[in-house]
Amino acid sequence: MSPDAPAPAKKSPADIKGIVFNIQRFSIQDGPGIRTTVFLKGCPLHCAWCSNPESQNFRPEVVHRDSLCTKCGLCAGVCPENAITVKDKGVSIDRKACTNCGDCVSVCLPGALKVLGQTMSAGEVFRETKKDADFFWNSGGGVTVSGGEPLAQPDFVAALFRLCVDYGIDTCIETSGFASAEALEKVLPQTSLVLYDVKLGDRECHRKWTGVSNEEILKNLERVIASGVAVTIRVPLIPGINDVEQELEKIARIAADAQIKPVKVELLPYHRFGIGKYQQLDREYLLPELTTQKAPEILRIKELFESFGLACEIVL
C-alpha cells in the first residue's frame, strides 16, 4: 500500500460473522433468568454422549426428518452428487459426497430436508436477541452463547457481546473450555458469566470420550477464574462414564480447588433427547444402552459434591 493510499476501513463489530444453527428464545437452563441462547456451529470436542450432534461440524449440514418424508424421490433426482438414497423409512445422505449445496432442500415440498447452520453477522444476531430485552431485564436474564463451542468463534462472540453490553444486556457463554488463551482474552472482557463444563477428571478418560485431553481445559479454568468473571462449573452426568464415585470425586476436587468463592456446581443428569438427531445426520449414536439416572442416584451425587463444600444444584 502506498503511503498516500487511504487506510482500509475498519470492520464494524456488527459486521463480524459467525455460523449459527439456532437462536432459542425464552431459555431458562442456560444461565440466570430468561435468556436467549445462541447456538454456534462447530466444536473441537466430539463427546460420545453429545446431545447436539448437529453442533459439532463447523460447516452447515443438511438434516433429514424422515417423519415428514413422502419418499417422492425429488431430492435424489436433483442431487448433483448422487448423494441421496430413498429408503423405506425415508432418505439417507452420503455425507462424504454431499457438498451441502442445498439443491435437495429447495425441492422438498414437505420440508423434510433442512440446512442447519447459517452465516449471520453479530449485528443480525443482536437485533434478534434484543427483541426480548424487557424479559431479560425483568428476570435477571440475558444472552447466552452456546454451541458447539463459543470460544471457537471468538471474534464473533466478542462482537455480539460488545453490542449486548452497550445495550445493557447480560452476557454468558457455555463452554467446554477447550480454546486458546487468545480466544479467552477476546471474549471474557465482555462476559459476565461462564458456564464451564468439567466432564471428566482423568486426562486419558477425557481423551477417550471427548477426543481431547482435559489438560488445556483445566488450565483455562484457572485463567477464567483469574480473570474475575463469574464461573459456574457444569458437570454432565454420563452413566457409567463419569457418574462413578472415583470420577465424581476427581471432578469435585477440581471444583473445590478452584479459587472461586462460593464455588457453584450444576449437575446435568443424562438425557436421551438428542439421540434422534444422529439419525437425521446419518450418524450412529455410540451409547445407545445408556439410561437416565434415577432421582435417588442424582441426589446421592449432589450430596457427594456438597461433601466437598460445594454449592450444588441439579439442572433438569
Q: Is 81 in the site for ligand SF4 (CB under 6 A)?
A: yes
Instruction: Using the minimum distance from each CB to ligand SF4, give the nearer residue, 105 or 163.
Output: 105
Query: At its nearest, how many Å lie between ligand SF4 and the CB of residue 105?
Result: 7
Give 130-133 contacts, CB < 8 A, sequence gap 24+.
130/164, 130/167, 130/169, 131/25, 132/25, 132/26, 132/34, 132/36, 133/167, 133/168, 133/169
The whole-angstrom separation of Cα 41 and Cα 61 is 10
Listed residue (174, 168, 166) closest to 193, CA to CA: 174
Examine residue 72 and tell whether it contacts ligand SF4 (CB under 6 A).
yes
Q: How far is CA 259 from the centre of its chain?
A: 25
Our CB check for ligand SF4 shows the closer of 79 and 229 to be 79
Rounded to whole angstroms, the Cα distance separating 158 from 255 reads: 26
Least separation, in Å, of the C-beta of 100 and ligand SF4? 5
Cβ proximity to ligand SF4: between 14 and 98 the closer is 98
The Cα–Cα gap between 205 and 208 comes to 5
Distance CA 210, CA 44 (A): 9
Report if residue 98 touches ligand SF4, rule: CB under 6 A: yes
Contact (Cβ atoms closer than 8 angstroms) between residue 277 and residue 114:
no
Nearest alpha carbon to residue 224 among 150, 159, 297: 150
Quick one: which of 22, 24, 29, 71 contacts ligand SF4 (CB under 6 A)?
71
Nearer to ligand SF4, 77 or 189 (CB): 77
Q: Which of 85, 99, 118, 292 binds ligand SF4 (CB under 6 A)?
A: 99
Under the criterion CB under 6 A, does residue 113 sit at the interface with ligand SF4?
yes
70 binds ligand SF4 (CB under 6 A): yes
By CB under 6 A, tell whether 279 contacts ligand SF4.
no
Among 11, 67, 89, 102, binds ligand SF4 (CB under 6 A): 102
Identify which of 263, 190, 249 has the alpha carbon closest to the alpha carbon of residue 221: 263
Q: Binding residues for ligand SF4, how many (CB under 6 A)? A: 28
- The span from the CA of 150 to the CA of 180, in Å, is 12
Rounded least distance, CB 68 to ligand SF4, Å: 7
282 counts as binding ligand SF4 under rule CB under 6 A: no
Closest distance of CB 103 from ligand SF4, Å: 4
Interaction residues for ligand SF4, span 199-218 (CB under 6 A):
none
How far apart CA 249 and CA 124 sit, in angstroms, is 43
Stretch touching ligand SF4 by CB under 6 A, among 108-116, 209-217, 247-255, 271-279: 108-116
- CB-nearer residue toward ligand SF4: 41 or 199: 41
Residue from 23, 48, 101, 287 touching ligand SF4 (CB under 6 A): that is 101
* Residues 122 and 159 sit within 8 Å (Cβ to Cβ): yes
Which residues in this chain contact ligand SF4 in the complex, by CB under 6 A?
62, 64, 69-75, 79, 81, 83-84, 86, 91, 93, 98-104, 107-108, 110, 112-113
